[in-house]
Amino acid sequence: MAIPLPRLRTLLGASLAAVSLSVTGFGVATAADDPVETRVIGGERASIEDHPYTVYLTTPSGIQFCGGALVAPDKVATAAHCVEDDSPSSVAVVAGREDKQGTAGEVVGVTDIWVHPDYVTVTSGDDIAVLTLETDLSYATVEFAAAADDAVYAEGNPATILGWGVTETGSSSRYLLQAEAPLTSDATCAAGYGISYDSASMICAGYPEGGIDACQGDSGGPLVVDGVLVGLTSFGRGCAEAGYPGVYTRVGAYAADLEARIAS
Ligand code: 4AZ
């Protein structure tokens, strides 16, 4: 079951329990739970200057638990499962910081958490939330996919995954990592996930043989095609496993929700 080393490219995380769908947030499953050695090598370092909209979420004590994308000076798009049980005072947003141990950038508080009203669990879709920040940030925001923008979701489009999630070491990354994987077809993703994959609300990325993926702690973070936010890391069966690409919230399906939150 282990992925042969030569086939490993980059990956942002380690695999979780091999038979269960795993999501991040507060990390119920850990790499230690994984009976199968499918952990992969770390993704490559990414520059925050190249991806200034990439932010992470922390607990009040500063522990990173998810990613996010700055879609307006005071709005961060993330996954619903990252913040569904949180009050604004229990989340902080860190922007402009590549190194979690550094002090660059800004740490800002959250005044409001909007969770998609239909969100129940990751496999039923609508895994999206919008945080309102207590102060505007001056970092460049990311354009998000429009509802009608099918072209950015075409099979094979090279997509960049960004995050500070768990690496093959079993710990989350100190530095922002990036990895590139192609968007899959709906059929490919459904072949792995069956009815848990909903093409209207999700999009998948990954290679047939696995090896590149997001993982625990990357949730909520951006999946970008041509500089456009197309996805938010949502779930997967383990990480980087053959036949199980990463599943992302299909941002274009929620463009109107994002616009409404930004206008609010
Ligand atoms: C997680 O737990 C998680 N391989 C994120 C992405 C994937 C699996 C798990 C996709 O945050």
Strand partners, 54: 69
Q: Name which residue sits closest to atom 5 of ligand 1, judged by CA.
A: 215
3-class DSSP state of 262: helix
User: For the segment 202-245, what is each residue's pLDDT rounded down to a tens digit?
Assistant: 999 999 999 999 999 999 999 999 999 999 999 999 999 999 99
Strand partners, 183: 205
User: For the segment 169-209, what is each residue's pLDDT rounded down to a tens digit?
Assistant: 878 999 999 999 999 999 999 999 999 999 999 999 999 99
How far is the first Cα of the chain from the last one, in angstroms, to the nearest whole number? 48
Q: Are the CB atoms for 213 and 181 separated by under 8 Å?
A: yes
Q: Are the CB atoms for 16 and 31 separated by under 8 Å?
A: yes
pTM exceeding 0.85: yes
Percent of residues, the chain, with pLDDT higher than 90: 81
Percent of residues, the chain, with pLDDT higher than 70: 84
Residue 118's Cα: distance from chain center in Å? 19
Does an H or E element contain 78, and which? strand 75-78
Enumerate domains of the chain plus CATH numbers.
Answer: 5-47+145-252 (2.40.10.10), 54-141+254-263 (2.40.10.10)
Catalytic residues, which ones? 81, 127, 219
> What's the 245 CA to ligand 1 centre distance in angstroms?
10
Q: Of 112, 116, 118, give the one whose Cα is nearest residue 128.
A: 116
Could you give the CA distance from residue 254 to residue 149 in angstroms, rounded to a whole number? 12
- Output the pLDDT for position 43: 75
Q: Which band of pLDDT confidence, cut at 50, 70 and 90, is reported for residue 29?
A: very low
Q: Which band of pLDDT confidence, cut at 50, 70 and 90, is reported for residue 40?
A: very low
- As a whole number, the mean pLDDT across the chain is 87
Could you give the CA distance from residue 222 to residue 219 in angstroms, rounded to a whole number? 9
Residue 77's Cα: distance from chain center in Å? 10
Q: Of 183, 235, 246, 167, give the one whose Cα is nearest residue 210.
A: 246
Strand partners, 233: 248
Residue 181's Cα: distance from chain center in Å? 13
Q: Which residues line ligand 1 (CB under 6 A)?
A: 16, 22-24, 213-216, 218-219, 233, 235-236, 239, 246
> What's the 264 CA to ligand 1 centre distance in angstroms?
30
Could you give the CA distance from residue 239 to residue 29 in angstroms, rounded to a whole number? 12
Q: Which band of pLDDT confidence, cut at 50, 70 and 90, is reported for residue 24?
A: very low
Could you give the CA distance from residue 237 to residue 18 in angstroms, rounded to a whole number? 7
Pair type for strands 228-237 and 75-78: unpaired
Report DSSP state, residue 124.
Answer: G
